[in-house]
Amino acid sequence: MDKSKKIIGVIGGGSWATALVKILTENVEKVYWWMRNEEAVEHISKYKRNLKYLQGVELKTEKINVSTDLESVVTSSDIIILATPSAFLTSLFQDFPIALFEGKIVFSAVKGIIPEYHAIPARFIHKTFNTPYDDIGIISGPCHAEEVALERLSYLTIVCQDEDIADEMADKFRTRFIKTTTSDDLFGTELSAILKNVYAIASGICAGLGYGDNFQAVLISNAIQEIENFIDEVSPIHRDVKSSAYLGDLLVTAYSKFSRNRTFGFMIGKGYSVKIAQMEMDMIAEGYYAVKSVMEINKKFNVEMPIVEAVYNIIYERISPVIEMKILTDRLS
């Protein structure tokens, strides 16, 4: 098939899916787009805007085929991009005729762990759709949907072990406000993108507790070391964690006012309960689920991860953030 003719389908109706559709319609003639909410579909068709997410973005609806029919979006597309929060993936595909995924390339833009299996999206895709790892890709940052909406210059890292597929997707996402780089580090990039959400929660908690910039710098320096130690242990290949997909994504999430994970952590640092913080945000902080799964996965690898442990203890063991962060300060260097 002519590379440029491959049709893309985006699965998800939130901010990130909306941003990805916006970018794609700069380059391609047709994008299929699935979302759950019929009202949101009608709103897009009528007003060219997503009802609840990135409402400021005027979408090129003449290029978008949006619907709530998941089977038809998958069937119509050659490349499927998953862009829902990780916690909804299992139920979404529970009764789906998996054979429809045969021969499809599947990308994940999800930065979370599927909680039921403690599985990263690449593994979920491989196991659920029988997609070979060479046909699985990752779209990573550093990139916040809100800045894409504003067309502020952003960089995406497109990851696939098959170099041709990575190049092809990088072409489709390159626009006047998006630069793209490629990588073949499927597992390392994905794990790093998941872990940085936990560190962004830690950063938010510390900011909420009143720790200053000096401490934040130490926290994030230690965080990138935890990331490096963990991903090198789980997926030992040569990589440079100073690259944007690792360190850059950590920095943007830990410091940006747009980060849901940081905001969630900030509220906890300010004394909100986990439940109230989640209700207040009305958006998903992936790190909430990820920290539990990382603790579980790490039982096998035994990497020293004091920041992950601190966030877990605060969120799941209900240990006071003041006490837990005080203990953490003695474990950082």
Min CB(240)–ligand NAI separation in Å: 21
Q: Is residue 180 within the footprint of ligand 13P (CB under 6 A)?
A: no
Q: Is residue 141 within the footprint of ligand 13P (CB under 6 A)?
A: yes
Q: Which is nearer to ligand 13P, 172 or 260 (CB)?
A: 260
Q: Is residue 143 within the footprint of ligand 13P (CB under 6 A)?
A: yes
Contact 5, 27 (CB under 8 A): no
Q: How far is CA 309 from the centre of its chain?
A: 21
261 interface partner picked from ligand NAI, ligand 13P, none, CB below 5 to 8 A per type: ligand 13P
d(CA 32, CA 241): 34
Q: Which of 127, 196, 270, 299 is catalytic?
A: 196
Strand partners of residue 178 = 154, 175
Q: How far is CA 259 from the centre of its chain?
A: 11
Min CB(201)–ligand NAI separation in Å: 12
Tell me the two tokens of residue 244.
């944007």
Q: Is 196 a catalytic residue?
A: yes
Q: Is residue 253 within the footprint of ligand 13P (CB under 6 A)?
A: yes
Site string for ligand NAI, 134-153 (x = CB under 6 A): -------x-xxx--------
DSSP 49-112: S-SSS-TTPPP-GGGEEEES-HHHHHHH-SEEEE-S-GGGHHHHTTTS-GGGGTT-EEEE---S
192 interface partner picked from ligand NAI, ligand 13P, none, CB below 5 to 8 A per type: none
251 interface partner picked from ligand NAI, ligand 13P, none, CB below 5 to 8 A per type: none
AA identity, residue 187: F
Q: Is residue 108 within the footprint of ligand 13P (CB under 6 A)?
A: no
Q: Is residue 88 within the footprint of ligand NAI (CB under 6 A)?
A: yes
Q: Which residues of 10-43 are buried (b: 16+ CB within 10 A; e: fewer)?
A: bbbbbbbbbbbbbbbbbbbebbbbbbeeeebbeb
Q: Is residue 192 within the footprint of ligand NAI (CB under 6 A)?
A: no
123 interface partner picked from ligand 13P, ligand NAI, none, CB below 5 to 8 A per type: none
Which phi and psi angles does 60 have, rounded to 5°? -80, 80
Q: Is residue 14 within the footprint of ligand NAI (CB under 6 A)?
A: yes
Q: Is residue 261 within the footprint of ligand 13P (CB under 6 A)?
A: yes
287 in a labelled binding site: no
Nearest Cα to Cα of residue 181 among 121, 233, 237, 139: 139
Task: Identify which range of 116-124, 246-254, 297-305, 310-318 contacts ligand 13P by CB under 6 A.
Answer: 246-254
d(CA 27, CA 2): 16
Q: Is residue 106 within the footprint of ligand NAI (CB under 6 A)?
A: no
135 in a labelled binding site: no
DSSP 158-170: EEESSHHHHHHHH
Nearest Cα to Cα of residue 81 among 142, 169, 5: 169
Q: Is residue 85 within the footprint of ligand NAI (CB under 6 A)?
A: yes
SS3 at position 136: strand
- Which residues contact ligand NAI (rule: CB under 6 A)? 12-17, 36-37, 53, 83-86, 88, 92, 109-112, 141, 143-145, 283-284, 286
**Which residues are annotated binding-site positions for NADPH?**
15-16, 36, 53, 111, 145, 260, 284, 286
Residues annotated as catalytic are 196
